[in-house]
Amino acid sequence: MPTPRTLLLTGAAGGVGTLMRDLLPAYGYELRLLDLVPIDGEPTAVTADLADHKALREAVRGVDAIIHLAGISLESTFDRILRANIAGTYHLYEAAREEGVGRIVFASSNHAIGCTPRTRPGDPLIPVGTPHRPDTFYGLSKAFGEDLAQLYWDKHGLETVSVRIGACFPEPTSVRMLSVWLSPADGARLFHAALTAEAVGHTVVHGSSANTRLWWDLTTARALGYDPQDDSEPYAAKLVAEQGELDPADPADARVGGRFVTDPPMWPH
Ligand code: NAI
Ligand code: 15L
């Protein structure tokens, strides 16, 4: 596909959105911003809910591609996840289909496979084709998003790269994060690769830096042209001294999703 220039960034007020607003313009993108909440210093940003079909149609009209970050980014009640993440992602795909947008980069999550046992030293890395094993309603919504993306590719020719992000923050803050960290700069590299690779159909990739303690396979991400430059290991000595190594006897430490696996579910209230 031709190199996209104009991008819609949903969830632009959030943590990853804020990091990407700083980093993506250097790749030559012009960003159109959308979020449920107003964005400081961005008077032209669209303030809209993913449930607002008319606003979504207008927001996607004329863009070359979309990075879809908007939604609830942690566990919540099923009803809230249903509205924001499941129905919300459907509404975005419908708007994109109606307006003829060619490609979406979908912010999936490691929590779509969160109940998968984590890799121990010497084990093979977790392949991208590992079955969905969501650890929460939140992870379930990301599994849904990946399947929705497959449906829109198979039925409508709308391409997606689903990026199962590990943890994208300025620095790793836990021993678990040493394995799953995606540095902001590598995040921008990965999004750029996902936006510019030829003929992606629906491709699922794991989204991490080149961490020494990596748990999953980055082959499909590298095949897009992603060349991660960062490694969490320089942060390891301090974090391990403070927190200790992961304990294989602790169920939260034994699986990919960490405490998402063991936290009690949230019920309606
Ligand atoms: P965040 O919670 O900081 O930002 C999400 C943004 O989406 C917020 O600004 C919020 O206002 C907006 N939003 C929520 N519901 C909305 C709705 N109905 N309509 C419009 N906007 C809505 O999350 P963060 O950390 O920036 O993550 C971005 C995306 O990446 C999320 O989809 C998250 O699930 C995914 N992700 C993030 C990871 C991370 O390490 N930060 C790891 C894995 C996945
Ligand atoms: C996610 O999916 C969350 O959005 C993020 O806040 C982190 O908790 C991350 O996963 C993680 O697994 O550390």
Round to whole Å and give the CA distance between 207 and 9.
18
Judged by average pLDDT, the poorest of 5-19, 102-116, 198-212, 255-269 is: 255-269
pLDDT at 265 (0 to 100): 74
Q: Is residue 267 part of a domain?
A: no
- CATH number of the domain at 35, please: 3.40.50.720
pLDDT at residue 89 greater than cutoff 60: yes
User: Which residue's CA lies nearest to atom 9 of ligand 2?
Assistant: 167
pLDDT at 121 (0 to 100): 87
- Helix, strand, or coil (residue 17): helix
pLDDT at 202 (0 to 100): 98
Q: Is residue 94 part of a domain?
A: yes
Residue 195: give the domain boundaries.
6-262
Q: How far is CA 144 from the centre of its chain?
A: 13
* Residue from 27, 90, 93, 138 carrying the catalytic annotation: 138
Chain-wide mean pLDDT for the chain?
A: 96
Residue 240 in contact with residue 176, Cβ under 8 Å?
no
Count of domains forming the chain = 1
Q: Which atom of ligand 2 is nearest to the CA of 138?
A: 2
Mean pLDDT of 188-195: 98
Q: Is residue 107 part of a domain?
A: yes
The band of 268, judged by pLDDT with boundaries at 50, 70 and 90, is low
Residues 6+ apart with CB under 8 A from 143: 112, 132, 134
pLDDT at 267 (0 to 100): 66
Q: Is residue 1 part of a domain?
A: no
The band of 264, judged by pLDDT with boundaries at 50, 70 and 90, is confident
Query: Does 152 qualify as catalytic in the annotation?
Result: no
Q: Is residue 32 part of a domain?
A: yes
